[in-house]
Structure formats: structure tokens, C-alpha cells
Chains A and B, each alone.
Chain A
Amino acid sequence: MSRATVELDFFGMEKANSCKSQFQKFIDRRRSFRGIQGAISKMNPELIKSVIASGSTNRNPVDWRKSFSVPSSPKEDRSTSLPSLPLLNPALRSIPSEESPETAPLTIFYNGTVSVINVPRDKAESIFKLAVEGSSKNIESVDSSKAANPSSDQQNLLEARNGDLPIARRKSLQRFLEKRKERLTSPYAW
């Protein structure tokens, strides 16, 4: 099956991540957009903008075959030098023709807005680094004295999101909720 998408090794499945428990691996896997959203939402917006601005003119080559590893929880080893978040490359969507080959689109969900920016790899890494440091600082300060309870720690880190699969809504209810919205916004609503 030839596809334009490059699928990244999300959570180092091929890497020797044997120190991680099955549960940890599962939890890591479940992170996706919402995980990124959670991490970045704790960052200073000005910081994000400045990093992006400084990166967009850089022309470093990008190697998409290199796998990223997932930042571990604060209690685990944090000596990984590449604390980057996984990237889903939305290469299937239409890419503007003027995009330079050395950069790639980075989609950021922040504070109710979605931005798609073309950045080279090193700038993308910087953003991720900041995100992880920003989010882990928050968690460490709150949980540092908490007794070890792996489930709730993972839960906090995950922000108890359901990962990739949103809870599906029944068709009939979906239609009703849409019709209700229309009724409320129609000019004749009373």
C-alpha cells in the first residue's frame, strides 16, 4: 500500500525500552494530539510564538525515519537527551506547494486554537523540549511527596484523556443536537 504518510515509531516500540512496564507502554501509546495539547497548554504562549518565529527561516534537513521517544513520568529516568513528543505527520492533507522540503508541518492545538506551521526539525525539537519541561515542572511540584501509585500518576500525566478514539456519539442524538443548535440560532427562535 503506497501512502504519502510516514508513520513514526510512536513510542519507541522498536527501541530497547525494556525498563518500561507494559502498562507504561500502553499509557504512552494512548497519547496523541490530546497529550501534546495537554503539555503545550501549560506553556507560555509568547514562548511558543518566539520559538516558531525563529525557526521558520532555518533550513536544516529533516530525517523523518528517526524515531522519537516519549518523555517518561517524573519518577522515571529523565536522562534521555531527546525529550521530544511524538509527531503524527499529517502528510495526507493538502500541503501548500511553496513549502520548502527541509521543513515539515507541525500542528499545534493551543487554548482552543489550531495552528499549522512549517518548521525544520531542530526547531520542532526545541518546542517539544520546552513543552515537556513546562509540563513536568508543574507535575513535579504537585506530586513530589505523593506515595507511589503508578495508575494515578499515569492518569495525571495523561490528563485522563481517551487518546485517539473519542467516545462515538449515537447518530440519532448527533442529529438532534445539531438541529437544536439550529433552532436556537435561527432568527425566529423565541
Chain B
Amino acid sequence: MEENGNKLHKTMTSQPGMSDVVLGCVMPYIDDPKDRDAVSLVCRRWYELDALTRKHITIALCYTTSPDRLRRRFRHLESLKLKGKPRAAMFNLIPEDWGGYVTPWVNEIAENFNCLKAVHFRRMIVKDSDLEVLARSRGKVLQVLKLDKCSGFSTDGLLHVGRLCRQLRTLFLEESSIIEKDGQWLHELAVNNSVLTNLNFYMTDLVKVSFEDLEFIAQNCRNLASVKISDCEILDLVGFFHAASVLEEFCGGSFNEQPERYTAVSFPPRLCRLGLTYMGKNEMPIVFPFASLLKKLDLLYALLDTEDHCLLIQRCPNLEVLETRNVIGDRGLEVLARSCKRLKRLRIERGADEQEMEDEEGVVSQRGLMALAQGCLELEYLAVYVSDITNASLQYIGTYSKNLCDFRLVLLDREERITDLPLDDGVCDLLRGCEKLRRFALYLRPGGLTDVGLGYIGQYSSKVRWMLLGYVGESDAGLLEFSKGCPSLQKLEMRGCCFSERALAASVMQLTSLRYLWVQGYRASESGHDLLAMARPFWNIELIPRIVGEDPVIEHPAHILAYYSLAGPRTDFPESVIPLDPSAAGISS
């Protein structure tokens, strides 16, 4: 049905202003979802035009709408991203069977979305049968398939993809839990595909893949630019590296042989994004010849100590993205600040807790943060686990990191005494200084932020859309003050709160932009009754009740999940999730 062109010509321009033809030419250039959202609200004509020309939709929680509604509004969609389980699932906090099944969506895609070329499922449950349906119905046109932190399928499901999706440019499986039967799926991909540019099965536990198939893919796919794989001996990949002549990104692999043998490995000439698993100080020199070309370095799964970090980082003046564990230490951050003036994104994850497993220098504190803020002025994203912190270091970030859009700080609980708590003033200065901040996470401990500090967050986070708050504030008063602000806050996650159900419900009603709430660890009652104060139309409230494990005896506190939905309550609850039903309590919704 070529109704796009026909429809535009048929509509008359009876009122002054832009004709539909002109509008139809302009509209496709409007990509930003917020702009499109605004456009669609102007009038019925613009709403319809937006619906016809929108290329991509992200549905942040699959239960907020239904496949049917999506199809009725955006029939000509080319690209769809769907997210399922709450973000906390990445930290093992959500029951595996919580939900987020792709099946109804895949069925709708198979039937009706004729223009769909790109599909991205994140934190969802995918079955082999879903992959078969998708491959059979859309295999001829599908260019991008991303199964991102998904579970529920096996390599048998991937066979259908390898066999039938011959136009696939991107196959992304990173961090998915895949049941491995064999490596046949990769062989099918190698035999049937010559256009692949991105192949990613990083951080999956697939071990039966053969490096010969990888080499085969590199030979057939002349545009292969990014390959991220599971553990595979690097020495077996020499042929692959030789064949992948335009490769820019490589992650994965494994080092199991004597270090001297790796001097024979040569990497493709355009390689500028790298992450080598289990790389130690003795293998590190193989990176030195092209370290100055590196724009992105992933050291999360390397075996380097603080000194190794210093030696490597000082050779990477063009580094824009660095991911590593806190073994980098304050000293490594100082080297980073001196050497990598173009740094845009820095993620410092938490290493092992046992002292013997990591370098004793491997702690990050205010010292490293202050050096970083002053040295890396182009920083846009900073996520860090610190062992110590001060207000001054946060003030430095507010002063120097003017491009910061995303800031996440977690205060580890290893040290009993923290140099400078509470962090009220530092947080205030950071929020006031970083005017572009859109995403903000602060995970502290009791005493880390007072009610006044929590009020500052509300007052000074005008553009922030997503927040994660852990162990902040002292009382309900703090939360209520906080919720008077945050005008842009759409998604709020909280953990380890001292707030009552009543205060949580009241704050939800005050946060004008809020459409999604997740809380674990709060003053829960047996029935959740006080939460009903936030009952309202289109607002789904779900509980994952408190679990006391038997062995070991660990308590998993209750979760609240609440979100706006056009689709009504879920119909696929597992036993571990309980909907809160306002009608049962006599409250109309």
C-alpha cells in the first residue's frame, strides 16, 4: 500500500500555513523523539503525518502499551526498541520469570509491520519459537537484530536467524543468557551472510563457536567493522584478524598461553576500539604499537593492576571512552587526567571485595575525581564506585564538568569512616554547575545525604529525566520536599529508603513528569495499603513481595513497580509479582 504519497496529495490545504506536501517533506527530518512528540500534539493533521512518517519508536516498558496499539498508530515503523524487565534485573534483583515476553510483539511484527528492518529487545524473554517466527516472516528484510540482555532462548533459535536473515547487518546478543547446544548457528551465519558489519556475542557464555567460522565471516563480509565475542584463544584468531581488514572494534577473546607467543599477533590497521578479556601486564605490550589510535578501551575484564593502568593509559592520548574497574585507582585517574584530554565517557565499576584479588592501590576517592574533573573537560558521562568522597570533589565536578549529561556515584561500604559526610553542599553545587545533566544516580549510606540535601536534588535537577537514589535522606519530609521539584523526572528508581508508603505515594502524586517508579527497601506494610493513595487511572501498581531466603538466610525486601500504561494491568503475572488492585480497596480507578 503506497498510501504515503497518495494521502499527502489528497489532503487539501484549506487553511493558511504550510501545505501538507511541504510538511510531508520537512517531517522526515525531525528525528528527536521529544520533537516528534510535540509535533504530534499540534493538531490532528500533524498527528497523522507524524504517525505515517515516524521511523523509530522506543517503548521504555513493554507493558505501557500493546502491540495492537502500536500497529494502529505507527504502521510503517522501520525500527523498534522494546524494554522489559526493570533495570534492577541487571543486578540480579528481579525474578527471572518476572515477565517481558516478546511473543505478542513478534506475532504482531510478523503479521503487520511490513516496513520493519530493525528490532531491539532489551531485558526481555525470548523463545526459540519467537526467533523462528521472526526469521520466517521478516528474514528477507531484517537488517538489525538485537537481543540485549535477553534470556529464554537457545542456539537452536539462532539457527533460524543464521539461515533466513541474509540481509542482517547487525546481530547483537551481548549479555544474553543463551542455552548452548552447539556452534552451528555461527556457521549458518558465515555461510549465508555477506553484508554483516556488527557481530556481538560478548559476555555470553557461548564456547562451542569455532574460530574458523569467525574467519569465514571476516573473509565474506568485507564491511565487517565491529566484532565482540565470548572467550576464544587470541592465538586462534590470528587468521581472523588478518582477514578482517576494515575492523574498527574488537572485544573478547582470552589469553591462555605463554605471554611471549602473543608478540606474533598483529591487529587490523583501523582498530580503534578494543577490549581484551583476561589481558594481563605481560600481554599488554601487544597493544602499545597502536595505543595512540585508540578511541575506546574496555578494561573491565582485563587483569591489570594500578601501575599497568598508568602505563597503558599514558599511551592513549586520543582516548574518548574508558571502562574499567576501580583497580585503576586515584593514581590511574591522575594519569588519565593528564593524558586523555578528549575523554568523553568514563565508567569505573566495582572490583572484587577481597583485598587479595585486587591491587591495594585500587581504590577511587575524591583525589582521583578532582584530578579528573580538572583534566578532562569534555566529559559527558561519568559513572564511578568510590571508596571515599568529599563535598569538595563534587564541587569540582560542578565547576569543571560543564558537558556532563550523565553522572552516577556509588559510595562503597567497605570503609567505615568517610572523610566528609553528608554530601548536601557538594551535590547541590554539582547539580547547579552541570546544567546539561539528564541522568543522575547517587547511592550512598545512612547519613550520606540529609533531608536538606534531598531537597537540593529536587530543586536543582531541572533537566534530569532519570534518577537512581540509594540511601538518601532521613525522613518522609525529605522525600516530600524532593518531589516538589524534579520537573523533568520521568523515571525514578530508589533503593534502601527510609520512606513510608504514604510518603512514597504522596511524592508520586507531586512529581509532575513521573511515568515510572521502582523502589526496593522502604517502610513496607504487610498489605501495601498506604500505596493506594497513588491509585489513579492508567497507573499500574505492582509488588514483588519480600522474600526471606532459607539458605543462606538473606532477606530480599519488597519491590514496588508503578508505571503509566495504556494497556491496563498485565495479564501475564508470574507468582512472584502481585498487582495492587485499587478496586478491591473500594477506590475507583
Tell whether A19 is near chain B: CB-to-CB under 8 Å.
no
Partner of B498, one of A26, A151, A169, A174: A26
Shortest beta-carbon distance, B429 to chain A, in Å?
20
**A168–B557 touching, CB < 8 Å:** no
**A190–B258 touching, CB < 8 Å:** yes
**Interface size counted on chain B using CB atoms at 8 A:** 52
Shortest beta-carbon distance, A91 to chain B, in Å?
9
C-alpha gap A90/B90 in the complex (Å): 28
- A26 / chain B contacts, CB cutoff of 8 Å: 446, 474-475, 498
**B446–A169 touching, CB < 8 Å:** no
- B59 / chain A contacts, CB cutoff of 8 Å: none
Minimum CB distance partner of A164 in chain B:
B555
Tell whether B495 is near chain A: CB-to-CB under 8 Å.
yes
**A173–B413 touching, CB < 8 Å:** no
Q: Which of A52-103 touch B at CB < 8 Å?
A: 88, 90, 92-94
Tell whether A180 is near chain B: CB-to-CB under 8 Å.
yes
**Interface size counted on chain A using CB atoms at 8 A:** 43
Tell whether A148 is near chain B: CB-to-CB under 8 Å.
no
Minimum CB distance partner of B548 in chain A:
A92
Shortest beta-carbon distance, A142 to chain B, in Å?
12
**B443–A167 touching, CB < 8 Å:** yes
Partner of A155, one of B278, B300, B447, B526: B447
Tell whether A42 is near chain B: CB-to-CB under 8 Å.
no
**A93–B550 touching, CB < 8 Å:** yes
Tell whether B88 is near chain A: CB-to-CB under 8 Å.
yes
Tell whether B23 is near chain A: CB-to-CB under 8 Å.
no
- A168 with B300, Cβ < 8 A, contacts A152-B447, A163-B446, A163-B496 known: no
Tell whether A50 is near chain B: CB-to-CB under 8 Å.
no
- A152 / chain B contacts, CB cutoff of 8 Å: 421, 447
Tell whether A170 is near chain B: CB-to-CB under 8 Å.
yes
**B557–A164 touching, CB < 8 Å:** yes
**B475–A92 touching, CB < 8 Å:** no
C-alpha gap A27/B555 in the complex (Å): 18
- A160 with B412, Cβ < 8 A, contacts A27-B446, A170-B90 known: no
- B175 / chain A contacts, CB cutoff of 8 Å: 171-172
Minimum CB distance partner of A34 in chain B:
B413
- B278 / chain A contacts, CB cutoff of 8 Å: 180, 183
**A29–B352 touching, CB < 8 Å:** no
**B474–A170 touching, CB < 8 Å:** no
Tell whether B483 is near chain A: CB-to-CB under 8 Å.
no
Tell whether A147 is near chain B: CB-to-CB under 8 Å.
no
8 A–B pairs (Cβ distance < 8 Å), ordered by A: A26-B474, A88-B555, A160-B413, A162-B496, A167-B413, A168-B92, A168-B93, A190-B258
Q: Which residues of A contact B (CB under 8 A)?
A: 1, 5, 22-23, 26-27, 29-30, 32, 88, 90, 92-94, 107, 151-152, 154-155, 158-177, 180-181, 183, 190
Q: Which residues of B contact A (CB under 8 A)?
A: 88, 90-93, 175, 203, 205, 258, 278, 300-301, 303, 325, 349-352, 357, 410, 412-413, 415-418, 421-422, 443, 445-447, 450, 470-471, 474-477, 495-496, 498, 520-521, 523, 526, 548, 550-551, 553, 555, 557
